[in-house]
Structure 1
C-alpha cells in the first residue's frame, strides 16, 4: 500500500487516538474514510494543540518517537507564574516524577505579563503529559501548550483542524534531516 503523510494542526479538545468509544472527537475524524488509514505519530493530550504528523508509515513513526533518535519537538507554552533563570535551569536539570525523569533540552522565556510567562521549550523525549507534569511539579501550571515543530518540520500558518498532505521525501528530510536515512526496506 502506498505510504501517505499529513501534517495536522490538532485543535484543543481533540483526542490523539485512532479508537476511543468515549472520545467525542478524535484526530482521525478529520480525515475522510476514503483516505488510506492513518495513525498519529506520537501524541498531544486533549488539552494541547499544534503540529501532529499522521501517516501509515511505521518506520517513520518509530524513528520520530523513539528517544534514541533525539528528534526535537518544540512547544510554545503559557504558564501561570513568573519563570526565572533558576526555574529555566531546573527545567534543564530535570526532576523525577512518578518514576519518570522529566527534563527539557532548552527553554527560554519569550514573553511575560503580570502573572504569566510564555516559554519556548524543546524536548527530544516525551513522556505522557511530560511538560505539564514537569512545570506543574515546579509550581507553574500550564495554561496553554502548542507544539510548533518536529525536527525541522514547522506548523507554520496551518489553521486548527486543517491538514496538509506532504511528500515522503519532504517529511523524511524535515524530520530526520536526510531522505537517504530511510532503510532499504522502505524503498
Structure 2
C-alpha cells in the first residue's frame, strides 16, 4: 500500500515524521533511483526502492513498533545525537532501543517523562496541537506567587503574539519560602512553562514533567524506563482521535 514517504521513514525508526520531511527537502531521500524533493510523494516499500542517505529500506524488514517511557534526569537533551557532545537520552538506553526517537522535548535543565517510539503515526498525533494532549508538571518557584499571578497563568498569557491555552494551576506546598505548583497544560511550545513564569515575574527553581496523557512516572526512577503495554498504547491513540 502506497503511503507518504515521510510516514514510511518514520515507521522504520530512522527519524520522526517532521525530521523525515526535512530529510526529503534536503534531498536525502531517493525513490526508484531519483531524488525526491516533494513532501506529498507516496511509495510502497514492498514494491518501490526507497533509499535514505544511501541506505535501502526493505519492505520485509520493517521493525516492530516499540513504545518506551523514560524518566529523564537533568543534564540530558532530548535528541538522538548532539554535535556539541552533550549527553542525550540515548545514553540512558541500551543499544537495541537506539532506533527510537523522542516525542517532543524536555530542556536540558528539566526532568521527567519523555516518550520514545518508532511509531511515527502516534508521535505525529501526540505532537499535533489540535489534539490538546494533557501534560502534567511539578514546578518549584521561588517565593509565594500571588493570586493574581496564578489567575493569569490559568487564563493564559501572550507568548510570541499568541495567548497560551488555559491551564490548571494549583499550589500544593510551600516550603522554605518557595512554592511547589502542580501544572496541567494542553500544549507544548518551546520552553513554555519557563517563559510563562518569567513573563509573570516568577523564578523557576526546578521543573519536572510527571505525566503525559494517561502515562505517569510511577515506579520509574530517574534515568530508568519501562515499555508501554498494549492497553496504554491503545489509550494514547484514543486520546488523539
Query: Counterpart of 1:123?
Result: 185
Any gaps of 5 or more consecutive residues in structure 2? 1-62
Query: Counterpart of 2:143?
Result: 81
Do residues 160 (structure 1) and 225 (structure 2) align? no
Structure 1 SS opposite 2:91 = helix
Any gaps of 5 or more consecutive residues in structure 1? 182-187
Correspondence for 2:168 among 80, 103, 106: 106
In the TM superposition, residue 177 of structure 1 has moved relative to its aligned partner by 4.2
Query: Counterpart of 1:148?
Result: 210
The TM-score, its normalising length taken from structure 2, stands at 0.69
Structure 2 SS opposite 1:78 = strand
In the TM superposition, residue 135 of structure 1 has moved relative to its aligned partner by 0.6
The TM-score, its normalising length taken from structure 1, stands at 0.88
CA contact (8 A) 1:153 1:171 kept: no
In the TM superposition, residue 168 of structure 1 has moved relative to its aligned partner by 3.9
Query: Counterpart of 2:107?
Result: 45
Structure 2 SS opposite 1:134 = helix
Aligned residues: CA RMSD: 1.9
Structure 2 SS opposite 1:15 = coil
Do residues 14 (structure 1) and 102 (structure 2) align? no
**Aligned residue pairs: how many?**
179
Do residues 97 (structure 1) and 159 (structure 2) align? yes
Q: Could you tell me how far apart the structure 2 residues matched to 1:44 and 1:172 are?
A: 24
Do residues 172 (structure 1) and 234 (structure 2) align? yes
Deviations 1:22-72, CA, capped at 9 Å, x for gaps: 142100122222336000011100100001110001111111111101110
CA contact (8 A) 1:4 1:167 kept: no
The structure-2 alpha-carbon separation of the partners of 1:176 and 1:76, relative to structure 1 and needing over 3 Å to count, comes to: farther
Query: Counterpart of 1:62?
Result: 124
